[in-house]
Structure 1
Amino acid sequence: MGGRQNRIIHWLRNLLCGALIGAGAILPGVSGGVLAVVFDIYRPFMEILTHPKRALPKYWRWLPPLGLGWCAGFMGFARGIAAAIDFSSTVTTWLFIGLIVGTVPALYREAGKEGRSAASWVSLFLCAGSVFAGLFYVSRTACFSAEPNFWWYNFCGVLWGMGIVIPGMTSSSVMMALDLYQPVLEGLANLDFLVLSASLPGLLLTVFLLARLVTWCFRRWYSVAFHGIFGIVLASTLVIIPTSYRGAGEIVLSALCCAGGCALAYFLARLDQRMKAGGPA
C-alpha cells in the first residue's frame, strides 16, 4: 500500500510541476526551463529527447502526468493567467518568484554536485551578467512593434521552445517587447486555430533541435554548465522583480503570494527527497 501511495503522490506531484512549467512559459519574465530545472525535471527531459531508447525505460512513468500538466498549464491556464495578470501582474509575478526562490538552495547544491572550479564561477557570473543585461534591455529599453501574423506566431513558438530547452530564456518578455504577447495569449485562451497551427510546430521543432546540443554540454562540462544555468536563474529572477505597486494592499498580497510560492517549492523539494529515500510520502 505504501508503494502504491508513493506512486500516486509522485504522479500528482509531476502533474502539478508540469502545470507550473506550462504556466511559467506563458507568464511574462518567467522561464519554463528554469522551473523545469528547479523541479529536477530538466535533465531527465533532455535525456528523453536526445537518447529516447536509453532514457524512456527509466523515466516513462514521468511523461503522462508531466505532459498532461504542461498542456493544462500552457493551454488551459492561459485564460486564468490572463485574468490574473489583468487583476495584478505584480502579484502573479511574485508568486512565480517565490516558486523559484524556494528552490535556490537545492539548485546550488545540485550545481556543486561534481565540484566547483574557477571556470564554474566564471560561468555563473558571466551568464548572470549577460542574461540580466539582455533581459533588462528587452523589457525596459527596446522599442519595436510587430504586426501579428502567421510568421510572427511561428516565431513565438520558437521562443517558447527556446524557453523550455534553455533555462532563463524568458520568451514571454521578448514577446511583450515586440507587442506580440497579448494577441498570442488571447489566441491560446480562445483556442484560435491560426495561433495554435503556427506556434506549436515551431515550439516542438525548436525543442528537438536544441535538446541534443544542451545535453552534450551537460555531459562534457557538468559543473560549468550547471553553474551557468544557476546564474541564469538568479539573473532572470532579479530582472522580473516588480518595481511599482498600486498601494499597500498589493504589496501585502505580493508578499503573501511570494511566501506561498516558497512554501510550495519547499513542499515539492521535501516530497522529492522522501521519494528518493523510499520513505513514506
Structure 2
Amino acid sequence: MHILKLILIGIVLGIANLIPGVSGGTMAAVFGIYDSLIELIGLNVKKIIAMRKFWIPLAIGIASGILIFSKLINRFLELYPLAALWFFMGIIIGSLPFIASQTYKKMQLLGCATGTNVQKDGQTCKPCAFIRYGSAGAVFFAALALMLAMKYANRSQFMHEAQTVLSAALSIKLFICTALAAAAMIIPGISGSFLMVIFGTYNTVIKAVADLNIAILIPVALGAAAGLLGGAAVIRILLKRFPAHTYAAILGLVAGSLAVLYPGLPAHNELILSIVLFVAGSAASYISSRT
C-alpha cells in the first residue's frame, strides 16, 4: 500500500511539473515527502541505496506522470485550462493544515539555550518566544509577498515556438535554463515549468518529451540533474540550520501560490468540472497528509 501511495504521489509530481505555474516542490510539501526528497537528492550513494524503497516507486510515478500524461495534459490544458488549475488549487488548500502543523512543530524545537522557550527555572522565556515567532512570521509574509508579486507576471507573453532540431546554441540554452528551472522546481511555490516559459524553452521541452526527441532531451536531462543537485544542497543546509524558518517560508510560498494559480471563475460546463476537481484535489491531499 505504501509503494502504491508513493507511485501515485510521483504521478502527481510528474504531472505538476508539466504545467506552468504549478510547483513540484509544492506538491512534495503537500504530500509530506519534501524533507525526504531533499535529503535524497545528492551524491551520497549509501543514502541513495538505503532510501531505495522510497525513491524507486516515487521515480516510477514521476516518470509515468511525465511520459504517459504529457500528451494528455497538453490536450486537457487546451480543452479545460481553468479546471486543471482549480484541481491543483484544491490539492494545495487541502495540504495547508498539514504544512502549518509541521511549521508549528519545528517552531517548538527552537528557543533558549535549553532547546525550548523554557528557562532552567521552568519559566517561559517571553523574549525568546517573541523573537522566534516574530522572525518566522516575517519570513512567512516575505515568502507570501513574493508569490503575490509573481501573480502579475504574464505567462502568455513569454510563449515561444517549439524547436525540434538541436544545435550547439540550443544545447547550451537548454542546459542552463533547465538547470535554473530544476533548482527552482524543488522550492515550494516556485514553478520550474513557469521559469521555462519565461526563458522561452517550455514548448521545446514539452514537445520533446511528448515526441521522445532524445537529442533535445539529453541537454535537458543534464541541466535538470545539475540544477537538482545544486538546489537540494542549499535547501538541505537551510533545513538543518533554520528548520522552523525554512518551513515558515514554505508555508508562505505554498499559500501564496494560490494567488498565482487562481485563473478566475470558469464558465458554463467547465465550472462544474472545476468544482468536482477542486473538491477531489482538496480531499485527496488532506487525506494523504494524514496517512
TM (norm. structure 2) is 0.82
Larger Rg, first or second structure (1 or 2) = 2
TM-aligned CA distance change 1:140 to 1:46, over 3 Å: closer
Matching residue's letter, 2:275? A
**SS of residue matched to 1:175:** helix
Q: Does 1:138 align with 2:160?
A: no
Distance (Å, rounded) in 2 between the aligned partners of 1:144 and 1:85? 15
Please give the residue correspondences for 1:25-174 in structure 2 after superposition, counting only pairs within 5 Å: 25-50=17-42, 52=44, 55-56=47-48, 59-115=51-107, 117-133=133-149, 135-139=150-154, 148=163, 149-174=170-195
* Conservation of the 8 A alpha-carbon contact between 1:162 and 1:169: no
Matching residue's letter, 1:125? F
Q: How big is the shift at 1:167? A: 1.7
1:222 to 243, 249, 254: 243
TM-aligned CA distance change 1:17 to 1:196, over 3 Å: same
Unmatched segments (≥5 aa) in structure 2: 108-131, 164-169
Matching residue's letter, 1:96? F
* Conservation of the 8 A alpha-carbon contact between 1:31 and 1:167: yes
Distance (Å, rounded) in 1 between the aligned partners of 2:50 and 2:281? 30
State the partner residue of 1:248. 268
Question: What is the aligned-residue RMSD (CA, Å)?
Answer: 2.3
Deviation string 1:200-229 (CA, Å, 9 cap, x unpaired) is: 110011111121211111111111110001
Moved over 6 A (4+): none
Distance (Å, rounded) in 1 between the aligned partners of 2:172 and 2:179? 11
State the partner residue of 2:110. none
Distance (Å, rounded) in 2 between the aligned partners of 1:239 and 1:93? 10
Q: How big is the shift at 1:253? A: 1.1
Deviation string 1:82-130 (CA, Å, 9 cap, x unpaired) is: 1111111111111111111111100100111122621110000001102
Distance (Å, rounded) in 1 between the aligned partners of 2:158 and 2:213? 27
Q: How big is the shift at 1:147? A: 7.9
Higher helix share: 1
Deviation string 1:127-152 (CA, Å, 9 cap, x unpaired) is: 1102321x224336966858853333
TM-aligned CA distance change 1:232 to 1:90, over 3 Å: same
Matching residue's letter, 1:175? M
TM-aligned CA distance change 1:177 to 1:190, over 3 Å: same
Distance (Å, rounded) in 2 between the aligned partners of 1:68 and 1:141? 32
State the partner residue of 2:117. none
**SS of residue matched to 1:26:** coil
2:218 to 189, 197, 207: 197
Distance (Å, rounded) in 1 between the aligned partners of 2:50 and 2:99? 22
Distance (Å, rounded) in 1 between the aligned partners of 2:18 and 2:42? 25
Deviation string 1:227-271 (CA, Å, 9 cap, x unpaired) is: 0011011112221111263x221112111110011121123223x
TM (norm. structure 1) is 0.84
Matching residue's letter, 1:136? K
Q: How big is the shift at 1:52? A: 3.4
Distance (Å, rounded) in 2 between the aligned partners of 1:228 and 1:94? 23
Q: How big is the shift at 1:68? A: 0.5
Deviation string 1:152-200 (CA, Å, 9 cap, x unpaired) is: 3324422441243222221222333444323321211111123211211
TM-aligned CA distance change 1:178 to 1:45, over 3 Å: closer
* Conservation of the 8 A alpha-carbon contact between 2:99 and 2:251: yes
Distance (Å, rounded) in 1 between the aligned partners of 2:253 and 2:30? 12
What percentage of aligned pairs have identical amino acids? 24
TM-aligned CA distance change 1:141 to 1:131, over 3 Å: farther
TM-aligned CA distance change 1:103 to 1:145, over 3 Å: same
State the partner residue of 2:13. 21
Q: How big is the shift at 1:57? A: 6.6
Q: Provide the aligned length of Structure 1 versus Structure 2.
A: 261
Matching residue's letter, 1:262? S
State the partner residue of 1:267. 287
